A = this chain, B = another copy of it.
Amino acid sequence: MINAAIVGMGRWGQTLVNSIAEGSHVIRFVAGTTRTPSKVKKYASENGIRLHETYEDVIKDDEVDAVVLASPHSSHFGQIIAAADAGKHVFCEKPFCLTGNQASTALSALEVNSLKVGIGHNRRFSPNALKLKRMIEFGELGDMIQIEGNFSANMAGYAGEWRDSRAESPAGGMTSLGIHAVDMFVNLFGRVSSVDAVSRKVALPFDIDDATGVLMDFEGGQVGYLGTVAATGQLWQVRAFGTKGWGSIYGHDRFDAVKIDGTHETETWDGYEYPGILTIREQLECFAGACEGDDPYPVTPDQILHATRILDAVIKSSETGARCTVD
């Protein structure tokens, strides 16, 4: 059993805690902290969470085996380094860090201390994503040619949260939303060699970009496109095109495929609607299992680093207007 601390107890931090509120056989939340602890006193008490005034107090807590970071993107790096020094495993919400170099340093700090790392790409655990990955691996879609993904939401609806500042959200929806598609692309198509991004503010009232589009080249020669709109209705879709047909994830709970012979396939699953509580619980349990020596977490440290380097390149490309190689 892993004793975890929740760091950042806003909307998403509470979603993580709630995902195992009915109890888990491998992980439980015993401690936590947030920017203004007084705001969550009642919630913490109801959920058996010992509330600390500061993050420093959390990592000094001997009962805590692992920290779960749902804090502002820009604080992840320092918090991971401090957790590594204190001997705590780290489960981090995406993006892992805001630069590839930070991610490299943070992953090394965990590794030298023999600590495990997990990342909040819960969409890897969705049944439709597992199905699409299986179809690609088994060659059911033929040779892969192109991949397209879009993750969009109405961040304007959360105006006033930390995510609405350019420092936390360079390239608009990329850090909060698009990074999920980056991970799914790497999961399904492998490494990206270069990106060419456009990102700008078209209609949002506060200063982050709402229109972002990225062309990608994969090391295998395939073409990718990732879109994220930070001020619209919610959408999560990834479609992979191969010589025998295409397959598509839509939301957490729908899968569609069309083969070149004209056959259509649609499959849906119950219980997986947004915000994907089942996948959130499953990722936390998988992380806890990895901490206890079971199977490794499915997003490898190399993939976490690669995704952060892709994010680096997207931000740089959107600022310079030039195609950027991924280091």
Closest chain B CB from A195 CB (angstroms): 11
* Residue A118 CB within 8 A of the other chain: no
Whether a CB of chain B sits under 8 angstroms from the CB of A196 is yes
Report A224-265 CB contacts with B as 1/0, cut-off 8 Å: 110101011111000101111110000000000111101000
B148 contacts A150, CB within 8 Å? yes
Number of copies: 2
Instruction: Report whether B232 and A246 are in contact in the complex, using a CB–CB cutoff of 8 Å.
Output: yes
- Decide if B246 touches A262 in the complex (CB within 8 Å): no
B-side contacts of A235, CB under 8 Å: 239, 246, 258
Chain B residues with CB under 8 A of A210:
145
| Contact present for A234 and B262 (CB under 8 Å) | yes
Nearest Cβ distance between residue A69 and chain B, in whole angstroms? 28
Q: Which of B243, B258, B259 contacts A231 (CB 8 A)?
A: B243
Instruction: Write out the residue numbers on chain B whose beta carbons fall within 8 Å of the beta carbon of A257.
Output: 233
Question: Hey, which chain B residues are within 8 Å of A232, CB to CB?
Answer: 145-146, 241-246, 260
Residues of B within 8 A of A215 (CB): 196, 198, 213, 215, 225
Could you say which residues of chain B place their CB within 8 Å of the CB of A154? 260
Greatest chain B CB density within 10 A among A202, A203, A215, A233 is at A233
Cβ A202 vs Cβ B221 within 8 A: yes
Contacts of A152 in B (CB 8 A): 241, 246
Q: Is A26 an interface residue (CB 8 A)?
A: no
Cα of A229 to Cα of B222 in the assembled complex, Å: 11
Q: Is the CB of B222 within 8 A of A146?
A: no
Given A148-B227, A231-B145, A262-B234, the answer on whether A211 and B203 have CB atoms closer than 8 Å is no
For A142, A212, A215, A243, which residue has the most chain B Cβ atoms within 10 angstroms? A243
Determine whether A217 belongs to the interface, using a CB cutoff of 8 Å to chain B. Answer: yes
Instruction: Give A142 Cβ to nearest chain B Cβ, in Å.
Output: 7
Q: What is the CB-to-nearest-CB distance from A272 to chain B, in angstroms, rounded to a whole number?
A: 16
In the bound complex, residues from chain B placing their C-beta under 8 Å from that of A143 are 202-203
- 8 interchain pairs (CB within 8 A)? A145-B232, A152-B241, A156-B243, A213-B224, A215-B215, A223-B227, A232-B260, A235-B239
